[in-house]
Amino acid sequence: MAKKGIIDPSDYPLDQVFMGPDEFGKYNPQRHEFLQLTNVLHYDPDNNLLVAHRKVEAEEWWCRGHIPGRPLLPGALMVEMLAQAGSLHSHLLFKFSKGSFIGFAGLDSVRFRGSTGPGVDLMIAGRITGGSGGRKAFRWGGQVMRMDGSILCEGEVFGISV
């Protein structure tokens, strides 16, 4: 039996954007090739949920070399999607100042459950599972999934102010 997703992607239409890159870029400094979120579709502080979208373009920088003839989205980039979504969620929930940089501090229980290539839309969803606004640190459990709800990657990422 397939593992159940945190969300049903059909509940979050891609054209209903909560926060675009100009706004979430005030919190997350990644740009160009390392910007791994396209939009934030939903933020619900009461239910501790953030849902983001990543449009994987047909000709991304990694397509040529990972894997020639059969481009596969690198797992490291899926983990980066989780890290960027978790960092943004921590900023919003703990109200860190926009100038605070939350760096990648670790991973736990990361699993890859599928693969994909370019030219797809992905959803990233998760919840803060631990942390402290005072220490500017967080744990975030999330999933990267296809639009049909099948999970590609899941795990917990840790971040801390650097």
Are the CB atoms for 105 and 160 separated by under 8 Å?
A: yes
Residue 121 in domain: yes
In this predicted structure, what is the pLDDT of residue 92?
96
Residue 93 to residues 22, 90, 113, 136, 155: CA-CA distances in angstroms?
A: 19, 5, 29, 11, 20
Residues 141 and 90 sit within 8 Å (Cβ to Cβ): no
In a domain, 84, yes or no: yes
Assess if residue 4 is contained within a domain.
no
**Length in residues, the chain:** 162
Residue 9 lies in a domain: no
pLDDT of res. 3: 83
Residue at 6 is within a domain: no
Q: Domain range holding 30?
A: 18-161
Domain count, the chain: 1
Asked, for residue 29, whether it belongs to a domain, the answer is yes
* Residue 22 resides in a domain: yes
**Burial (0-12, 13-18, 19+ Cβ within 10 Å), 1:** exposed
Instruction: Note if 42 is an active site residue.
Output: no
pLDDT in tens, the chain (162 residues): 578 999 999 999 999 999 999 999 999 999 999 999 999 999 999 999 999 999 999 999 999 999 999 999 999 999 999 999 999 999 999 998 878 899 999 999 999 999 999 999 999 999 999 998 888 899 999 999 999 999 999 999 999 998
Looking up residue 106, the CATH number of its domain turns out to be 3.10.129.10
At residue 96, the pLDDT reads 86
Q: Specify if 112 maps to a domain.
A: yes
Q: What pLDDT, on the 0 to 100 scale, is given for residue 93?
A: 94
pLDDT at 132: 84
pLDDT at 97: 81
- Catalytic residue (choose from 32, 42, 53, 66): 66
Longest dimension (CA), the chain: 48
